[in-house]
Structure 1
Amino acid sequence: MTYALITFADPASGESLTGLETGGRVLPLTAENLALPGSIPVSIETIIEHWDTAEPQLDRLAGEAGQAGTAAAGWLDFAELKVLVPLRPQQILQAGANYRKHVIDLAVAHRDGGGTDEEIRERTAEIMDKRAAEGTPYFFIGLPTAMASATEDLILPASGKSHDWELEVAAVIGSRAFRVSPEEALDHVFGYTMVNDITTREFVFRKDMPAIGSDWFRAKNAPGFLPTGPLVLPAKFVEDPQDLKVTLRLNGETMQDESTSDMIFTVAQLVSHASQQMPLLPGDLILTGSPAGNGAHWGRLLRDGDVMEGEITGLGTQLVRCKDEVAQ
């Protein structure tokens, strides 16, 4: 039976708990029902660390729930829980310009060279095909302090005006990976979660220092700019990470609707390339890039009162409301 892991607030005490989610019900996890030493605090991070022991217990618990019905004692209704940030990675790597259609749309929007729209699309498509065959991914570093839960309000900082959405898949590293090949890379992925990589567009390029280029630190790391979760889905339940649907709706209108098959570099390639430069550690996140359809494409950026609803195959639903900082 398919199951996922979540972190949530105890309805009685507010304490942070880790749960097994299946069929819309959640079982709080303890060292006892995971067969872990009693002194180990249970979190998604410790489950990753002790996966060899925890996995058969989770399989058993999910199987028992399927046989007896998840209304059994101890199970909670997922819809009634306050979800929290699922885990706190030591490192977050973000891949940019990793969806073919997205890059082509951007080239047209920014008139990257002369010619008609169709000529720009054809020229950019050729560049992306060559990049996929001969190039390497483009990474930058995110900060864990920007993370928020899948249902927290997003406060739009008054310091900027062009806040944008970028819903994407993130791979959760399960074991230390350093200089691994693409063929080995997915063996180091514990699972997958959903993130919305919020960006303040006007901060991306430094006008005072154009030679330096992009300023991802300022553009992407405000508090709450990385809604994450609600679920972490173990990799064994994802048959093909290149066959997931990414959908974001803004106030009910579909803005992003793309398959991960449009990635220029696959999840395996991203993990492998990232590991050539630095050791990837258990619990780290590798963000895989945003598909086409962000606000810059539509000419419609985030504003007070907006509601973003994000869905990715098997990874649950995010529901994030936007509020202007000045209105707080």
Structure 2
Amino acid sequence: MIRPSETTTAMLPVLVNVSIAQCIPLPALSIGTHALALAHWAHLGFRGTGCIETFLREWEVNAPSLKQICADPATTDAIVKLGVPLSNFRVHSPVAPRQVYCTIGNYRDQLLQAALDADDGPDGPGAAARREAALNSIEARRRNGAPYICIKGAACVSGPHDPLAISPNLETLDWEVEIGVVIGKSAAHVRVEDAFDCIAGYCIVNDITLRDRVFRRDAPAMGTDWLQSKSRPGWLPAGPWMVPAWNVGDATQLRLWLRLNGSLMQDGLVSDMIFSIGEQIACLSNSTRLEPGDLICTGTPAGIGSHHGRYLRPGDVVEAGIEGLGSQRVMCIAQSNA
């Protein structure tokens, strides 16, 4: 498994989507310091070396050759000798999904934290009862329930270092660091035990959410509104790269973290999920057909802004990372309501 620190780069080649000057983004392999366009290996029969969306849609064709060159020590040498310093590129999202799915309330510690924050707070006289009720509810859902998954508009996907524009009327804009699962082949009615065969790779995502729009004030009986609360452009920074699944190993051991202006806000393990990545894929594939390039945002650990009583505002710097998948840095900027 790739195991760089939070600030260092990966030791094995990873898939990036980069551009230089005003050119169209193109998929490349990177070792963190340099990147070399996949077109360098076009003789291997890759499809879509000029477009990350096409490359991922053709994952089943491309994956065997990609796995071969990623394991070849000569590939690292080629990237260093023939590639361009990654700092010279603009790094875009490593995925361009047609569908984005988000799993809601999927970390035990986040649900428990929300329960303790309610009513008289974590130190109030009712905290113990709320804690017990939350734990019982989580275990009952684990035994008898299913993942709660919504759709997030694909137009919200942005790069790992793109600025996040915040207009004055967005007062409850929140962060959610998550492990993003990129689908590698069409999947329908997949069994849990076969789900990992459908994964192309993993990346970091930050599922930006407007808390006061999750529930509609004008239609409270209608339930949640994920379009208004999650799907504006820029509300899903992704990347900086995608690590192929064969280089990740046991994803449940990965650590997720998020810092706001240098202060640690979220810190959790994938193993704290109520429903595993495989269970999420199986659940989705029984309701819809998953296609290559689709992205699943798999839930977030404790420490979201509503817990801290602090939401995003212009001038903030949000850094999010996952062990082995790198880190992203997003600057929040002011935008007029117009």
Q: TM-score, normalised by structure 2?
A: 0.89
What amino acid maps onto 2:167 in structure 1? P
CA-CA distance at 1:204 after TM superposition: 1.0
Equivalent of 2:325, from 315, 319, 324?
315
Equivalent of 2:132, from 103, 122, 125?
122
What amino acid maps onto 1:80 in structure 2? N
Equivalent of 1:44, from 35, 41, 52?
52
Matched with 1:183 is: 193
Question: Equivalent residue of 1:47, what SS?
Answer: helix
**Do structure 1's residue 283 and structure 2's residue 268 form an aligned pair?**
no
- Residue 7 to residue 267, structure 1, CA distance change in 2 (3 Å): same
Counting only pairs closer than 5 Å after superposition, residues 16-165 of structure 1 correspond to structure 2 as: 16-30=25-39, 32-33=41-42, 35-36=44-45, 40-48=48-56, 49-57=58-66, 59-60=68-69, 63-65=72-74, 68=77, 70-72=79-81, 74-111=82-119, 116-165=126-175
CA-CA distance at 1:21 after TM superposition: 1.3
Structure 2: runs of 5+ lacking an equivalent:
1-10
**Do structure 1's residue 198 and structure 2's residue 205 form an aligned pair?**
no
107-116 vs 276-285, which deviates more?
Answer: 107-116
Question: Equivalent residue of 2:35, what SS?
Answer: strand
- Residue 174 to residue 117, structure 1, CA distance change in 2 (3 Å): same
**Partner Cα separation in structure 1 for residue 292 and residue 174 of structure 2:** 29
CA-CA distance at 1:41 after TM superposition: 4.7
- Residue 276 to residue 112, structure 1, CA distance change in 2 (3 Å): farther
Matched with 1:258 is: 268
- Residue 308 to residue 152, structure 1, CA distance change in 2 (3 Å): same
**Do structure 1's residue 4 and structure 2's residue 14 form an aligned pair?**
yes
* Same amino acid, percent of matched pairs: 36
1:279-312 deviation digits (Å, cap 9, x = unpaired): 0000001110111101101111111100001111
RMSD: 2.3
Counting only pairs closer than 5 Å after superposition, residues 164-313 of structure 1 correspond to structure 2 as: 164-313=174-323
**Partner Cα separation in structure 1 for residue 230 and residue 105 of structure 2:** 15
What amino acid maps onto 1:107 in structure 2? A
1:104-154 deviation digits (Å, cap 9, x = unpaired): 111122239996212211220111011112110101111111111000000
Question: Equivalent residue of 1:277, what SS?
Answer: coil
Contact in 2 for aligned 1:200/1:219 (Cα 8 Å): yes
- Residue 57 to residue 94, structure 1, CA distance change in 2 (3 Å): closer
- Residue 278 to residue 68, structure 1, CA distance change in 2 (3 Å): closer
**Partner Cα separation in structure 2 for residue 37 and residue 153 of structure 1:** 33
Contact in 2 for aligned 1:176/1:281 (Cα 8 Å): yes
What amino acid maps onto 1:106 in structure 2? A
1:21-80 deviation digits (Å, cap 9, x = unpaired): 125321111175352278x553333333154445335533662446747531x2122233
Structure 1: runs of 5+ lacking an equivalent:
none
What amino acid maps onto 1:167 in structure 2? V
- Residue 65 to residue 231, structure 1, CA distance change in 2 (3 Å): same
**Partner Cα separation in structure 2 for residue 202 and residue 320 of structure 1:** 22
1:197-249 deviation digits (Å, cap 9, x = unpaired): 11111111112211111111101111111111111111111111211110101
- Residue 237 to residue 160, structure 1, CA distance change in 2 (3 Å): same
Contact in 2 for aligned 1:185/1:271 (Cα 8 Å): yes
**Partner Cα separation in structure 2 for residue 77 and residue 50 of structure 1:** 26
**Partner Cα separation in structure 1 for residue 43 and residue 126 of structure 2:** 60
CA-CA distance at 1:257 after TM superposition: 0.6
Question: Equivalent residue of 1:177, what SS?
Answer: coil
